[in-house]
Amino acid sequence: MPYQNKYLELLSQKYPTIQTVASELINLSAILNLPKGTEIFITDIHGEYDAFNHYLKNASGIIKEKIDLIFPNLSEADKNRLAFFIYYPTDMLNKYKEMLKGENFQKLINQQLSYMILLAKEIVTKYTKSKVRKSLPDEFSYIIQELIYESSSHEDKERYYQAIIEAIFLTKRESKFILQLSRFIRKLAIDRLHIVGDIFDRGPLPHLIMEKLSSMNNVDIQWGNHDISFLGAASGSKVMVANVIRIAARYNNLDCFEDGYGINLIPLARLAEKYYKKDECSLFIPKGLNVNYKKTEDLSFIGRIHKAITIIQFKLEHNLITRKPGFMLEDRLLLDKIDFNDNTVLINGVKYPLLDHSFPTINPKKPYALNKDEEEVINHLTQLFLHNEMLQKHARYLVQNGSMYLKYNNNLLFHAAVPLTEDRQFLKQTINGKEYYGRGLFDEFDRLVRSAFLNRYEKDNFDKDYFYILWQSGASPLFGKHSMKTFERYFIADKKTHKEITNPYYKYRLEEDVLRMIYDEFELDFNKSKIVNGHVPLDITKGDQVVLANKRIYSIDGGMSKEYADRTNIGGYSLISDSHAYFLVSHERFDNYQTLINQEKDIVSITRSEELNTRRTYIYDTNKGTELKEKINDLLQLLEAYRNGTITEKK
């Protein structure tokens, strides 16, 4: 009881009188009965900033849907024009300033403003005035509130309403006003954004995605294995530094680190030139859509860098794997299995010829030893990653807003898999002498990631090893496979050696008993809760099953990365959850936004699945509702304490 009184005394500092407590109780009780806001789930962005940014701007098709609903009599061309004034206001203003002059331009802008205000009126109905005010731009806060909360149906109000619009034009603030109003609409169209893993790698602009996310409220991230790779590099794991650079070279995206983060790769380039100058490095020439095949000399240069950092990574893996036995990684140690006389490698008792046998930096007697140049380069790069301000800011954001999994509004979000065994049980993994499985394994890995990052400047912090384990271990919930065959894909022609066996989770998750076991482990409601994950690109247009287990699992990686264009016809999925239903939406592959603006025609987004709620969902059904109920309970106790004299009202 003394502890409770201390807590209530602290609470009374914020609510010093019976009146302030009662007012807040009324406010919170009202909020509980508002409809739940719209949540959007996106996964596997893989550096595709332009596509991701467009999905944010059009709220995965929600804004256009609202326009269709509110303005049924507008032509399709007028609806599209309004939509693009909301998505890309600056570009549209510039476009029409060139096309129209004087009164015609003013007439168009006046029309767009009127439409946007009506749209804003509709969108704010889900929110309290307090939340709306917090979302408003300071410069136009009062004006927008007047326009969205005042009815224009009465004649006097209509004049007042029109006077505001005219004053905006008179003061030449119409362009700035449209810009701020469009941002306001976009901000309130999405109440919560869930990124279900893999912001990084393959695509060229993950740093811009991180800048965008950092500017937003109400975002959570469930780490993917590519995010963990980035976090590991930012935490000073040398093997993960090598890994992120290797992947960037593989897709010809080294500019991401050089231009995006300002990390100097010249020492690595010098090492590559020194040892591989006469090596064609043909197996390491970048592949994919980000390659300009006319610049063959440049590509050879990237190929040499690619090979140099790959060999460094293979060497670095040895000490880590021997430090952390039991994580099913021993089969990744293959440099000592190479026969340098006949240029073969021994894997599982079978000898395979090597496609490339130029290894000038490998000492056959000590194949895992870095030479002096390699050691200097990786040490230098690691320090650059550890002390890069922008990169560290992004890593800190990932740690603060991310997690191994999230339970939110009765749903479970994680990137890849809940590791299982072939006998349909949770895979058990020993970490530091203690056994973990199921939810406990997720929780322990989550703790280790945070510990490794927060202690990243300590010299002997071997918790950093877990970034590599989460990147490609068979025990990793973020990888979901038995083994990553990086060496084999580079050096062996026989594609049987490339095969990566998926975790039994993917085979058994459709079985009700297994799914109930997972639901019970994470304390989910089997009749209401959903599992949302990504990691495996699926194309519903090719017959892939995306909505699984009687709509209990949504596997929503649609291959947003352009590098998946040969595997999926679509450009990604968005799962949308509002107060009425769940919608799975597939998006046409995104090219560039300038083409869309010129044509004023959005990418095609098709609803692939719709699941109506049995009743509308309100705030009291959500995570936020649980928090508010707890606060209401605390305030009721404070109210009682005031009334019985336990605590005295403040002035």
> Is residue 29 domain-shared with residue 102, that is, in the same domain?
no
Looking at every residue in the chain, the average pLDDT score rounds to: 91
* pLDDT at 296 > cutoff 60: no
Nearest to 116 by CA among 165, 178, 164: 178
Spatial neighbors of 427 by CB under 8 A, at least 6 apart, are 419, 420, 421, 437, 441, 474, 475, 503
157: in domain: yes
> Is residue 26 domain-shared with residue 79, that is, in the same domain?
no
71: in domain: yes
pLDDT at 155: 59
For residues 43 and 158, which has the higher predicted lDDT (pLDDT)?
A: 43
Provide the pLDDT confidence category of residue 589 given band limits of 50, 70 and 90: confident
Average pLDDT over residues 451-462: 92
Residue 470 near residue 476 (C-beta atoms within 8 A): yes
Write down the residue that tokens 């949540």 correspond to. Answer: 39
* pLDDT at 293 > cutoff 50: no
648: in domain: no
> Is residue 490 domain-shared with residue 464, that is, in the same domain?
yes
Residue 442 near residue 521 (C-beta atoms within 8 A): no
β-partners of residue 353 are 344
103: in domain: yes
> Domain span at residue 632?
2-34+623-643
pLDDT at 604: 82
pLDDT at 371: 97
Average pLDDT over residues 446-461: 94
Give the whole-angstrom CA distance, residue 44 versus residue 563. Answer: 12
> Is residue 300 domain-shared with residue 336, that is, in the same domain?
yes
> Is residue 424 domain-shared with residue 548, that is, in the same domain?
no
**Per-residue pLDDT tens over the stretch 210-260:** 999 999 989 999 999 999 999 999 999 999 999 999 999 999 999 999 999
Q: Where are the beta strands (DSSP E) in 223-319?
A: none
> Is residue 353 domain-shared with residue 377, that is, in the same domain?
yes
Positive or negative CA dihedral for 109, 588, 564, 230? positive
pLDDT at 43: 96
Q: Which string of b and e fits 45-80 if b means at least 16 CB within 10 Å? A: bbbbbbbbbbbbbbbbbbbbbbbeebeeeeeeebbb
3-state secondary structure 146-165: HHHHCCCCCHHHHHHHHHHH
**Of 472, 498, 524, which closes a domain?**
498
Write down the residue that tokens 């271990």 correspond to. Answer: 473
Write down the residue that tokens 């889900």 correspond to. Answer: 126
Residue 77 near residue 600 (C-beta atoms within 8 A): yes
Neighbours of 495 (CB within 10 A): 10
* pLDDT at 294 > cutoff 70: no
**Per-residue pLDDT tens over the stretch 136-152:** 888 888 888 888 876 65
Average pLDDT over residues 333-344: 95
Q: What is the largest CA-CA distance in the chain?
A: 94
Provide the pLDDT confidence category of residue 200 given band limits of 50, 70 and 90: very high
- For the ranges 18-27, 93-102, 308-317, the one whose mean pLDDT is highest: 308-317
Average pLDDT over residues 275-286: 92
Residue 284 near residue 306 (C-beta atoms within 8 A): yes
Give the whole-angstrom CA distance, residue 175 versus residue 181. Answer: 10
Q: What angle do CA 442, 448, 454 make, to 5 degrees?
A: 135
Q: How far is CA 527 from the centre of its chain?
A: 27
pLDDT-above-70 percentage for the chain: 96
- Tokens at 26, concatenated: 């009324």
Cα torsion at 165, 166, 171, 175 (round to 10°)? 50
Which DSSP state fits 459? T
Using a CB cutoff of 8 Å and minimum separation of 24, what contacts does 490-495 make? 490/283, 490/284, 490/310, 490/355, 490/356, 491/283, 491/345, 491/354, 491/355, 491/356, 492/345, 492/347, 492/352, 492/353, 492/354, 492/355, 493/352, 493/353, 493/355, 494/352
pLDDT at 154: 59
> Is residue 368 domain-shared with residue 468, that is, in the same domain?
yes
For residues 291 and 93, which has the higher predicted lDDT (pLDDT)?
A: 93
278: in domain: yes
Provide the pLDDT confidence category of residue 153 given band limits of 50, 70 and 90: low
> Is residue 633 domain-shared with residue 591, that is, in the same domain?
no
515: in domain: no
> Is residue 213 domain-shared with residue 292, that is, in the same domain?
yes
Of 70-79, 147-156, 290-299, the one with minimum mean pLDDT is 290-299
> Is residue 69 domain-shared with residue 173, that is, in the same domain?
yes
Spatial neighbors of 64 by CB under 8 A, at least 6 apart, are 58, 79, 83, 602, 605
Give the whole-angstrom CA distance, residue 212 versus residue 199. Answer: 12
Of 5-9, 304-308, 385-389, the one with minimum mean pLDDT is 5-9
Residue 101, class by beta-carbon neighbours within 10 Å (0-12 exposed, 13-18 middle, 19+ buried)? exposed
* pLDDT at 572 > cutoff 60: yes
Give the whole-angstrom CA distance, residue 483 versus residue 243. Answer: 16
508: in domain: no
Can you give the pTM of this predicted structure?
A: 0.93
* pLDDT at 276 > cutoff 70: yes
Q: Is 326 left (phi over 0), alpha (psi -120 to 50) or beta?
A: left
Which DSSP state fits 405? E
Nearest to 642 by CA among 3, 2, 20, 1: 20
The half-sphere exposure of 153 on its side-chain side, counting CA atoms within 13 A, is: 2
Query: Angle 62-70/174-189 helices, nearest 10 degrees?
Result: 110
- Tokens at 638, concatenated: 């404070």
Of 33-42, 485-494, 596-605, the one with minimum mean pLDDT is 596-605
Provide the pLDDT confidence category of residue 292 given band limits of 50, 70 and 90: low
Average pLDDT over residues 368-374: 97
Nearest to 118 by CA among 96, 150, 88: 150
- Tokens at 248, concatenated: 């960037």
> Is residue 110 domain-shared with residue 244, that is, in the same domain?
no
Neighbours of 565 (CB within 10 A): 14
Q: What is the DSSP string of 554-613?
A: EE-----SGGGTTT-SEEEEEEEE-SSEEEEEEEEPP--HHHHHHHT-PPPEEEEEEEE-
Q: For the chain, how many structural domains are there in total?
A: 3
Spatial neighbors of 129 by CB under 8 A, at least 6 apart, are 145, 149
> Is residue 392 domain-shared with residue 280, that is, in the same domain?
yes
**Per-residue pLDDT tens over the stretch 374-432:** 999 999 999 999 999 999 999 999 999 999 999 999 999 999 999 999 999 999 999 99
Residue 331 near residue 321 (C-beta atoms within 8 A): no
520: in domain: no
Q: Which string of b and e fits 573-607 if b means at least 16 CB within 10 Å? A: bbbbbbbeebbbbbbebbeebeebbeebebbebee
Which DSSP state fits 6? H
